[in-house]
C-alpha cells in the first residue's frame, strides 16, 4: 500500500477513493496446495457470471462427494454424461479433459507449480487447451498469491486504467506495462484496486 501510494499519485487517489481491499476470494473452498482443483474451477467459470459458475461448480463437487475429481476420474468419465450432469458446454468438457491429460502425463508440473517462476507457470498453463493467458494470470494472482502480475488482457483492468488515467481508448499491453512500471513489485495489488474501482474483482 505504501509503495503504491508513493510511486503513483494517480493510483494514490484511486486507493483513497475505493478504500481498503477485502480478502481475496480465489481460494474459497480450495486448499492452497490444490492447484488442480483451482484450475478445474477456473475452467468451469470462464466466460460465465459468478452466479452461474458457482452453480456448476457446486454440481461438480456434489458429483464427487464434495471434492474436485482427480485427473484419472475426469478421464474415466463419459464426456457427454459429465457435460449433461454439470451443465457444461462440450468445449469445457474438452478443456477439462485436456487439463487432466496434461496433469497425468506430467507435462503440467502441478507438484512444482508453486516453485516455478511466473513466466514458467504461464507457459505450462497455456499449453492446456482452453487455458489462456488471462486464466493463467488469475491463477497466479488469486491462487498462487504472486505479488507482481499485471493482467494485461483483463477488460476490467483496461477499462479502469482508461478511466483513472483519462485515456482516449482502452490501453494495450505495452501502454499498460508502461503505466504500471512504477507499481512493481506489487502490480497484483494495484490490479485489485483497479477492479475494486469497478466493483468487478474476478470471482
pLDDT tens digit sequence for 20-45: 887 665 455 578 789 999 999 999 98
* Cell matching residue 22: 477485502
Average pLDDT score over residue span 186-203: 87
Taking the CA atoms of the chain, what radius of gyration do you get in angstroms?
Answer: 18
Averaged pLDDT for residues 117-138: 96
The whole-number average pLDDT for the span 123-141 is: 96
Phi, psi of 128 (to 5 degrees): -85, 130
What is the spatial distance between Cα 88 and Cα 109, in angstroms, rounded to a whole number?
26
Looking at 42-201, which runs of residues are DSSP E strands?
Answer: none
Residue boundaries of the structural domains of the chain: 2-21+149-198, 35-143
How many angstroms separate the CA atoms of 179 and 68, rounded? 39
* Alpha-carbon distances of 42 from 20, 133, 150, 164, 178, rounded to whole Å: 26, 12, 18, 29, 28
The band of 19, judged by pLDDT with boundaries at 50, 70 and 90, is: confident
- Determine contact, residues 144/60, Cβ cutoff 8 Å: no
Q: Does 114 have pLDDT greater than 80? A: yes
Q: What pLDDT score was predicted for residue 200?
A: 67
Q: Which of 188, 59, 46 is nearest to 125 (CA)?
A: 46
pLDDT bucket at 143, cuts 50 / 70 / 90: very high
Contact call for residues 75 and 105 (beta carbons, < 8 A): no
Measured in Å, how far apart are the chain's first and last C-alpha atoms? Answer: 22
| pLDDT for res 142 | 92
Mean pLDDT on 129-147: 95
Give pLDDT, residue 47: 82
Binned at pLDDT 50, 70 and 90, residue 201 comes out as: low
The yes-or-no verdict on residue 156 having pLDDT over 80 is yes
Query: Taking 80 as the threshold, does the pLDDT of residue 60 lie above it?
Result: yes
Class of 35-143 in CATH: mainly alpha
pLDDT-derived band at 50 (thresholds 50, 70, 90) equals confident
Q: Indicate the CATH number for domain 2-21+149-198.
A: 1.10.1670.40
Position 28 scores a pLDDT of 53
Cβ pair 161, 176 in contact under 8 A: yes
Half-sphere exposure of 188 (CA within 13 A, CB side): 16
Average pLDDT, integer, range 101-130: 94
Q: Minimum mean pLDDT among 43-52, 64-73, 129-138, 151-160: which range?
A: 43-52
Amino acid at each position: 500500500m505504501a509503495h503504491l501510494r508513493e510511486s503513483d499519485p494517480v493510483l494514490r487517489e484511486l486507493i483513497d477513493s475505493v478504500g481498503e481491499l477485502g480478502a481475496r476470494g480465489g481460494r474459497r473452498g480450495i486448499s492452497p496446495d490444490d492447484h488442480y482443483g483451482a484450475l478445474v474451477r477456473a475452467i468451469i467459470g470462464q466466460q460465465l457470471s459468478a452466479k452461474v459458475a458457482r452453480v456448476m461448480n457446486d454440481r461438480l463437487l456434489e458429483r464427487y462427494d464434495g471434492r474436485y475429481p482427480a485427473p484419472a476420474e475426469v478421464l474415466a468419465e463419459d464426456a457427454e454424461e459429465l457435460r449433461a450432469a454439470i451443465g457444461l458446454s462440450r468445449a469445457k468438457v474438452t478443456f477439462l479433459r485436456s487439463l487432466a491429460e496434461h496433469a497425468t502425463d506430467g507435462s503440467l508440473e502441478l507438484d512444482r507449480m508453486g516453485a516455478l517462476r511466473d513466466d514458467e507457470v504461464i507457459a505450462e498453463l497455456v499449453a492446456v487447451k482452453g487455458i489462456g493467458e488471462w486464466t493463467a494470470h488469475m491463477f497466479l494472482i488469486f491462487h498462487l498469491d504472486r505479488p507482481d502480475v499485471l493482467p494485461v488482457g483483463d477488460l476490467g483492468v483496461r477499462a479502469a486504467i482508461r478511466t483513472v488515467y483519462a485515456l482516449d481508448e482502452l490501453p494495450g499491453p505495452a501502454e499498460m506495462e508502461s503505466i504500471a512500471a512504477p507499481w512493481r513489485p506489487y502490480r497484483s495489488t494495484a490490479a485489485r484496486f483497479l477492479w475494486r474501482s469497478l466493483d468487478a474483482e474476478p470471482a
